[in-house]
């Protein structure tokens, strides 16, 4: 097959993560609890 | 006037439990990190995924208290993002994924062998009609046709099984097809797919 040169270009190069992604990360951070017991680290997610 | 708080202070606050400090850090570096990822992967969806995975790593490291690169928050996050980009390309090399754009769709040049639901229904109906038509044939012709078409036997095998010569078997097959066509024409039956 011939090469296709008319690949669609994105209009803008300024890229930002969506507010939903940021919101997910903030919620993930709030729900993540790290507990250290006798040198061992436990992660728990209180969702 | 808004006071800009430096990254190390925000990190300290976040580690101390201030979740708003994380929000400030993400918002401050969102564009630079996203643009960096996008410049490598050239796909907005993948950029979002890698951005998310990057900050999940950041959050876990900060909460675990293992972060020790004071004053170099952004380069550290960039390095995590960079490693995840490499992981992404490694994974894709093992499992290449082809997606179509507006001008080209891979599924227009390849497909599976299976019939779609509609064609399968039509085929089933034709098979059913044909079975009923074959029942109308004389026994000797029907026997040869069934052996040839449904059991995929050669005319030599058919002649051995029916005790007639190969030529007779060939003749019966020919008449079976002629008679089938005649029944179809006389009854105006349409068999198409």
> Are B136 and B92 found together in one domain?
no
CATH of the domain at B158: 1.10.10.10
> Are B96 and B145 found together in one domain?
no
A44 near B CB under 8 A: no
Q: Identify the domain containing residue B140 by its residue range.
A: 117-186
Q: Show residues of chain B in contact with A29, CB under 8 Å.
A: 19, 22, 59, 63
Domain residue ranges of chain A, discontinuous segments joined by +: 16-47
In terms of C-beta distances under 8 Å and separation of at least 24 residues, what long-range contacts does A18-23 make, across chains too?
A: A18/B48, A21/B48, A21/B51, A21/B52, A22/B23, A22/B26, A22/B27, A22/B30
Q: Show residues of chain A in contact with B80, CB under 8 Å.
A: none
Tokens at residue B29, please? Answer: 């570096």
pLDDT tens per residue across span B115-152: 788 888 888 888 888 888 899 899 999 999 999 988 88
Q: Which of B61, B88, B107 is the last residue of a domain?
A: B107
Q: Show residues of chain B in contact with A21, CB under 8 Å.
A: 48, 51-52
B48 near A CB under 8 A: yes
* Count of positions (residues) in chain B: 193
Mean pLDDT score of chain B, rounded to an integer? 87
Q: Do A22 and B47 touch (CB under 8 A)?
A: no
CATH of the domain at B54: 1.10.1740.10
How far, in Å, are A4, A5, B47, B98, B128 from residue B109 at the CA level?
A: 14, 18, 29, 12, 32
Q: Which residues contact B140 (CB under 8 A, 6 or more apart)?
A: B162, B172
pLDDT tens per residue across span B101-112: 667 776 676 677
B105 near A CB under 8 A: no
């Amino acid at each position: 097959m011939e090469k296709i040169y008319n690949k669609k270009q994105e209009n803008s190069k300024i890229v930002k993560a969506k507010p939903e992604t940021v919101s997910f990360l903030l919620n993930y951070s709030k729900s993540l609890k790290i507990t250290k017991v006798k040198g061992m680290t436990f992660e728990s997610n209180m969702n | 006037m808004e006071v800009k708080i430096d990254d190390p202070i925000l990190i300290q606050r976040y580690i101390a439990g201030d979740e708003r400090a994380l929000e400030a850090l993400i918002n401050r570096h969102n564009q630079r990190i996203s643009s960096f990822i996008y410049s490598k992967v050239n796909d907005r969806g993948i950029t979002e995924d890698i951005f998310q995975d990057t900050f999940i790593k950041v959050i876990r490291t900060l909460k675990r208290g293992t972060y020790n690169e004071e004053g170099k928050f952004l380069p550290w996050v960039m390095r995590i993002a960079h490693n995840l980009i490499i992981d992404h390309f490694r994974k894709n090399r093992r499992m290449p994924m082809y997606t179509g754009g507006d001008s080209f769709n891979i599924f227009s040049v390849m497909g599976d062998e299976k019939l779609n639901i509609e064609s399968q229904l039509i085929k089933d109906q034709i098979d059913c009609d044909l079975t009923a038509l074959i029942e109308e044939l004389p026994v000797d012709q029907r026997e040869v046709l069934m052996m040839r078409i449904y059991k995929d036997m050669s005319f030599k095998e058919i002649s051995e099984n029916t005790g007639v010569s190969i030529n007779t078997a060939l003749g019966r097959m020919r008449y079976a097809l002629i008679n089938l066509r005649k029944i179809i024409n006389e009854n105006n039956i349409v068999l198409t797919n």
